[in-house]
Amino acid sequence: MSRVIRAKGCSAKDLDLHSKEALRWPTFKFEPLQKVSVPIAIFRSSNPLGLCLAIKEWLFQTLDSRLYGYPDMLRMENQELDKLQLKTESKLLLLEGAASLDSNGGSGRKDSGAGISQSAAGAQIGIMGVFMPGDSKVRWYYSAVPYKYLLLHLSSQHLLSLSKILEPGSKHHTRLYTFLQTSFTKAIHIPEAPDYLNAISITDYAPEIQNPDTALDRLLAMDSIQSGKEYLDLSTDRYLLDLEPAEREIAAVVGLRCAEYLLVKRTFFKEFFIECHRSSETKRGGKVRTDHAHHQWLEEVYGWKSTKSRRLIAAWKELGILDEEKFKGWIQDGGLFEEA
C-alpha cells in the first residue's frame, strides 16, 4: 500500500493557484434535494486505518491503468492517516447516483474545467466519507467507477459491515444529504489565488482604455517598455482572460502574473483616487501627482526598481488610463467615466 502514499501528480497540495492547472480539478453537480432518488448507505468499521488504506489502494489500482494523472479520475490528498487509531469504531457513508462531474468547474469562469475530458464530463460519481468519533476530519473519496466491487472487497477483508440504509424522503436522509453535499464540496474546493481575491475586493477606479482596438499595437511599438528583461510568459496563467489583451502585455513586460497585476492596478488607482479626492490641487486645477511621484509610490509600496515602475507608468499613460485631468474630472462630476 506504500504505492498509494507515494502516488504523484494527483494531489492539489502544491498546486500553483495562478496556473491554469487549477482549472483542471473538477467540481461536482449535486441533484437538488427534492429530486434525489437514491439512498445513503451507512457502514460501520472497527479498523478505520485499514479501511482508508484499502480504499486508497483500490482507487489507485483501478484508475491507474485507465486515466492515471487526470484529476477528474484520480485525486489523492494527505488524509492524516497517521492520526487514526488501529482499532476503534468508525462509520463510512456512501452516496452514489446523486452527483456528477461538472464540466465547467462550477465557477462560471470562461476557461473553467479545461482539464475535464469530454468523456468524463457529466459522469456519475460515488462519494464516500469515513467518520471517526471525536475527529473533525472526514476522509473523503470519490470515484466515477461503481463501488460495488470495492464494497465486496472491503467486506471480504472484514473491514466494514452494513449498518443501515436511509431512503430518500426521510428526515435523516435529508439532513445527511445536505451535510454530504456541503462538506464534500468544501473539502475538494480549489480556491482562487489570494492576489485575485484581494484584487476583486477593491473597487476598480481605473478609467477605460482609450482606443482599445489599437491599444496592444501601441504598446508593442513602445521601445521604452519593450526593452526590459522581465518579460513573463502568461500563456498558462489562470487569470489571463480577466485582463484585456493590452493589459496582458503590460503584465508580461513588468514581470507580473495576471492576478498580481490586477491587484497592483486596483490598489494604485484606489490610492490615487483618494489622493485626488482629498487634494486641494483638484479644486485649483493643479497637478496632484507627477510621473516621478507615481514611480516613487510603486517603488515604496512594492519595492520595485525604477525601471519597472517607469515601464508600468509609461504603459498606463499610453493607454490613457493615467490621464489625471480625466480622473479629476470624474471625481468633480461625482459620476462614472465618460468617453472623451
pLDDT digits (tens), the chain, 340 positions:
333 333 444 677 788 999 998 887 778 899 999 999 999 999 999 999 999 999 988 888 877 644 444 444 567 777 888 887 777 889 999 999 999 887 654 444 544 444 555 556 678 889 999 998 888 889 999 888 889 999 999 999 999 999 999 999 999 999 999 999 999 999 888 899 999 999 999 999 888 899 999 999 999 999 888 876 678 999 999 999 999 999 999 999 999 999 999 999 999 999 998 888 776 554 555 567 888 999 999 999 999 999 999 999 999 999 999 887 777 777 666 655 444 3
Radius of gyration of the chain (CA): 27
Contact 173, 98 (CB under 8 A): no
Residue 176 CA to residue 179 CA, distance in Å, equals 5
- Tell me the three cell numbers of residue 163: 449498518
Q: Provide the CB-side half-sphere exposure for 229 (13 A, CA).
A: 1
Cβ contact 105:27 at 8 Å = yes
Range 183-189, long-range pairs (CB < 8 A, 24+ positions): 183/129, 183/138, 184/28, 184/127, 184/129, 184/140, 184/142, 185/27, 185/28, 185/30, 187/138, 187/140, 188/25, 188/27, 188/28, 188/75, 188/140, 188/142, 189/27
Q: Which of 79, 65, 75, 33 is nearest to 182 (CA)?
A: 33
For residue 332, the SS3 value is helix
| Residues 6+ positions from 335 with CB-CB distance below 8 Å | none
Residues 6+ apart with CB under 8 A from 128: 55, 92, 93, 94, 140, 141, 142, 147
Query: How far lies 263's CA from each of 146, 197, 200, in Å?
Result: 44, 9, 8
Per-residue burial over 220-229, b = 16 or more CB atoms within 10 Å of its CB, e = otherwise? eeeeebeeee
Question: C-alpha angle 222/228/231, rounded to 5°?
Answer: 100
State in Å, rounded, how far the first CA of the chain is from the last one: 68
